[in-house]
């Protein structure tokens, strides 16, 4: 009789996200490395040896060549800067890269937004822009949650306009000075001719598609929440390597959803919005995986001189 070898990872629910990630037809190594830099490296000073990053990425199925290519592109985009130490190299977040990661962290690790003040935030383009620059602006504001109106302006119900404008400068749009204007406005109410706030939302953001993506996320990670709750051993006894891999993929998948989420105030969202549950689930799982995954980082994240960088930042924990 022939026997089939059992993959030990298949027996551990922590490995389910990893197995799903490895089965993708096309790995987006650059996006995953950004998740690792933001969640694991930035809170420990924003610096890591290239060899250490290669080692952290290997269990995901991301090989050395992919890591080197992704890091090269991040340097070209002014996210990272290199610093040689003999034959080894450290990569450090640049001031621009640090600002971008801090902005990303604000979205990922933030609590629920405050109650809506009823005012819409507008950013209006006063001059005609070249097509390439217009698209760059659209993409930058899309990440900030803004929807584009057919009139050519951009709108959001709750964004911090000062933070948004600072982010545009960090994204290389500082030369738009005197081309944009921004303001808050509260629509008139009580006239049947005017669109309601919910009409605005329905015409500006495809929430049905986003809700379906959140439901897929919940279906993938809810079994892991059940597993952690039913464990008899303390969570700190989780396998450190698997805890790190699972935590990273959790944040990676959640971050990709937030890239599409305008983060509207609760007042403007449908009843039982799945994004709310996804945020709660992410926080619960992250906290459960935290202690064991941090042990893995302390054992494997190194600078080029061999030192272990100290944790200085914040996260969901």
Using CA atoms, how far apart are residues 230 and 224, in angstroms rounded to an integer? Answer: 10
So where are the chain's domains?
119-185, 207-293
% residues pLDDT > 90 (the chain): 48
Choice between 18 and 212, residue whose per-residue pLDDT is larger:
212
pLDDT at 312 over 70: no
For 258-275, letters b (16+ CB in 10 Å) and e give beebbbbbeebbeeebbb
pLDDT at 5: 44
Residue pair 225/285 in contact (Cβ under 8 Å)? The answer is: yes
Residue pair 17/253 in contact (Cβ under 8 Å)? The answer is: yes
| Run of H or E residues at 284 | helix 274-300
pLDDT tens for 160-199 read: 899 899 888 888 888 887 889 998 988 877 667 778 888 8
Residues in the chain: 317
β-bridge pairing 88-93 and 154-156? unpaired
Choice between 24 and 313, residue whose per-residue pLDDT is larger:
24
Mean pLDDT of 108-118: 77
pLDDT at 7: 47
pLDDT at 25 over 70: no
Confidence at 294, pLDDT banded by 50, 70, 90: very high
Choice between 55 and 111, residue whose per-residue pLDDT is larger:
55
pLDDT at 237: 86
Choice between 258 and 234, residue whose per-residue pLDDT is larger:
258
Four-CA torsion 11, 12, 18, 21, nearest 10 degrees: 50
Confidence at 11, pLDDT banded by 50, 70, 90: low
Choice between 193 and 146, residue whose per-residue pLDDT is larger:
146
Using CA atoms, how far apart are residues 184 and 119, in angstroms rounded to an integer? Answer: 6
pLDDT at 63 over 80: yes
pLDDT tens for 260-276 read: 899 898 889 999 999 99
pLDDT at 111 over 60: yes
pLDDT at 172: 84
Task: Report CA 306 to chain centroid distance, whole Å.
Answer: 29
pLDDT at 254 over 90: yes
Residue pair 129/178 in contact (Cβ under 8 Å)? The answer is: no
Choice between 218 and 194, residue whose per-residue pLDDT is larger:
218
Using CA atoms, how far apart are residues 242 and 288, in angstroms rounded to an integer? Answer: 12
Mean pLDDT of 47-59: 95
Question: At 78, phi and psi to the nearest 5?
Answer: 65, 35
Instruction: Given CATH 1.20.58, say whether it is the number of domain 207-293.
Output: yes
pLDDT at 65: 93
Instruction: Given CATH 3.30.70, say whether it is the number of domain 119-185.
Output: yes
Using CA atoms, how far apart are residues 317 and 314, in angstroms rounded to an integer? Answer: 7
pLDDT at 8: 44
Residue pair 296/244 in contact (Cβ under 8 Å)? The answer is: yes
Mean pLDDT of the chain: 86
Mean pLDDT of 220-238: 88
pLDDT at 307 over 60: yes
pLDDT at 1: 38
Lowest mean pLDDT segment, chosen from 54-63, 149-158, 174-183, 307-316: 307-316
């Amino acid at each position: 009789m022939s026997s089939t070898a059992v993959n030990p990872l298949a027996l551990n629910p922590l490995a389910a996200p990893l197995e799903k990630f490895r089965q993708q037809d096309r790995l987006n190594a650059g996006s995953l490395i950004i998740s690792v830099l933001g969640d694991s490296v930035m809170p420990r000073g924003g610096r890591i040896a290239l060899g250490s990053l290669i080692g952290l990425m290997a269990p995901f199925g991301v090989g050395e060549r992919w890591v080197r290519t992704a890091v090269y592109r991040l340097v070209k985009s002014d996210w990272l800067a290199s610093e040689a130490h003999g034959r080894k190299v450290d990569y450090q977040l640049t001031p621009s890269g640090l600002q971008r990661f801090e902005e990303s962290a604000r979205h990922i690790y933030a609590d629920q937004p405050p109650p809506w003040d009823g005012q819409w935030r507008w950013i209006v383009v006063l001059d005609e822009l070249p097509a390439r620059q217009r698209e760059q602006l659209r993409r930058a504001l899309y990440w900030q949650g803004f929807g584009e109106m057919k009139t050519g302006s951009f709108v959001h119900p709750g964004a911090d306009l000062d933070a948004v404008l600072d982010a545009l400068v960090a994204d290389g749009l500082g030369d738009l000075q005197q081309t944009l204007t921004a303001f808050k406005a509260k629509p008139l109410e009580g006239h049947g001719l005017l669109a309601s706030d919910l009409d605005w939302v329905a015409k500006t953001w495809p929430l049905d598609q986003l809700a379906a993506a959140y439901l897929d996320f919940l279906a993938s990670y809810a079994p892991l929440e059940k597993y952690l709750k039913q464990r008899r051993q303390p969570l700190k006894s989780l396998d450190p390597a698997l805890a790190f891999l699972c935590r990273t993929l959790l944040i990676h998948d959640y971050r990709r959803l937030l890239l599409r989420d305008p983060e509207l105030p609760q007042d403007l969202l449908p009843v039982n919005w799945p994004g709310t549950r996804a945020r709660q689930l992410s926080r619960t799982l992250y906290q459960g995986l935290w202690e064991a995954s941090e042990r893995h980082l302390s054992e494997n994240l190194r600078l080029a001189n061999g030192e272990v960088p100290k944790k200085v930042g914040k996260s969901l924990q």
